[in-house]
């Protein structure tokens, strides 16, 4: 196998796994509604993200466990506040909003709405970090906005209403949370923290929070009275294959591809999400949906095709591999 093709395989795997995330989670939500445990859907935001984040957190924490105490001792109060803010936005609020948005919206609608993370992140980085907006930013924003409005407008005409307002509200909360975590993540990368500190500790703590919430809201049966399909679907497919597999594929991709290349081609996960939702969940692929998806994808590519021009020095050295993956986008 040519070395170039071999180098691109992890990138392709990352795009595939990231694109399948919403489709698999939506499928689990729907399946759980038909297989209740004590009258409750066994698929909840707390038990799903508990296992997913526990898996990723342990995988990041264990390799650096021997120096973890010393690494944590080097952090000052400002470092701890940054780490806590990043975790609260990207590991708790963002995933919760992502989950509840997906409960009310189709995978396609939710995927298109979360494309707003890119322009909102750029605006926040401009405001908080002094980074110039990428070339073609306003064109990108206009294309993404048009791509969101086109299918929603068609649905309003056909069905007499927009998507559920609660789902849209949750999606906007998730967009703000993930955009904020993208900015704090750039500041964290500038500090050069090892993965055990930047990923392992906050992800593991966030997983424990989700576990406590599950016990408080539902009780121990939320974990102990589950069926084989739940174990295979949540632990095997979602936690291990999608969450951990996506993280490992991304890190492998960064070894052979630049951040710009990974970011650019990672946008194709939108195509995977739309097609997988249509093939696996039967979501309709109407003309407005396809046109809207094409506009959103064009907007994403418009802002990522060139390297951004900065008004001030970036807090992240360009040549360094990021120590954490940009969450959910």
> What is the pLDDT at residue 327?
43
pLDDT tens digits along 303-322: 665 544 333 333 333 334 44
> What is the pLDDT at residue 312?
37
> What is the pLDDT at residue 326?
41
Q: At what angle do helices 287-304 and 117-129 cross, to 10 degrees?
A: 30
Q: Which residues of the chain have pLDDT under 70?
A: 1-7, 152-163, 259-260, 303-329
Number of folded domains that form the chain: 1
Residue 322 lies in a domain: no
For the chain, how many residues are written? 329
Residue 222 lies in a domain: yes
Residue 171 lies in a domain: yes
Residue 317 lies in a domain: no
Cα→Cα distances 253→97, 244, 305, 312, 315, Å: 28, 14, 18, 28, 22
- Residue 153: count of CB within 10 angstroms of its CB: 13
List the one residue out of 165, 160, 107, 164 whose CA is nearest residue 289. Answer: 107
> What is the pLDDT at residue 302?
79
Cα atoms in the 13 Å half-sphere on the side-chain side of 204: 14
Cα→Cα distances 39→35, 229, 279, Å: 9, 17, 30
Residue 314 lies in a domain: no
pLDDT tens digits along 36-79: 887 888 899 999 999 999 999 999 999 998 999 999 999 999 99
List the one residue out of 201, 222, 113 whose CA is nearest residue 162. Answer: 113
Residue 237 lies in a domain: yes
Residue 22 lies in a domain: yes
Q: Which domain holds residue 299?
A: 3-304
**Run of H or E including 128:** helix 117-129
Per the CB < 8 A criterion, the answer to whether 26 and 200 are in contact is no
Cα distance between residue 326 and residue 93, in whole Å: 15
Residue in the structure block whose two tokens are 């994403």: 300
Residue 318 lies in a domain: no
């Amino acid at each position: 196998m040519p070395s170039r093709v071999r180098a691109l395989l992890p990138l392709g795997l990352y795009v595939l796994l990231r694109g399948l995330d919403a489709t698999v989670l939506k499928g689990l939500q729907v399946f759980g509604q038909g297989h209740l445990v004590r009258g409750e859907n066994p698929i909840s935001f707390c038990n799903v993200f508990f296992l997913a984040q526990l898996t990723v957190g342990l995988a990041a924490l264990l390799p650096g466990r021997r120096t973890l105490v010393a690494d944590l001792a080097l952090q000052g109060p400002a470092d701890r506040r940054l780490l806590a803010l990043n975790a609260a936005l990207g590991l708790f609020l963002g995933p919760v909003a992502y989950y509840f948005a997906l409960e009310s919206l189709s995978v396609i609608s939710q995927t298109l709405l979360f494309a707003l993370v890119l322009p909102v992140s750029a605006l926040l980085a401009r405001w908080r970090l002094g980074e110039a907006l990428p070339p073609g930013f306003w064109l990108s924003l206009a294309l993404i906005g048009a791509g969101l409005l086109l299918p929603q407008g068609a649905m309003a005409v056909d069905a007499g209403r927009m998507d559920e307002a609660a789902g849209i509200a949750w999606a906007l909360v998730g967009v703000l949370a993930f955009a904020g975590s993208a900015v704090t993540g750039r500041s964290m990368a500038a500090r050069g923290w090892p993965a055990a500190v930047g990923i392992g500790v906050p992800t593991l703590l966030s997983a424990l929070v989700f576990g406590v919430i599950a016990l408080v809201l539902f009780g121990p049966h939320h974990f102990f009275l589950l069926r084989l399909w739940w174990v295979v679907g949540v632990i095997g497919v979602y936690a291990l294959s999608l969450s951990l597999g996506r993280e490992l594929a991304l890190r492998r991709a960064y070894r052979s591809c630049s951040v710009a290349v990974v970011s650019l081609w990672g946008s194709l996960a939108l195509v995977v999400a739309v097609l997988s939702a249509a093939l696996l969940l039967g979501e309709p692929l109407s003309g407005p949906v396809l046109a809207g998806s094409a506009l959103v994808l064009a907007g994403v590519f418009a802002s990522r095709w060139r390297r951004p021009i900065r008004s001030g020095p970036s807090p992240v050295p360009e040549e360094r591999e990021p120590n954490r993956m940009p969450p959910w986008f």
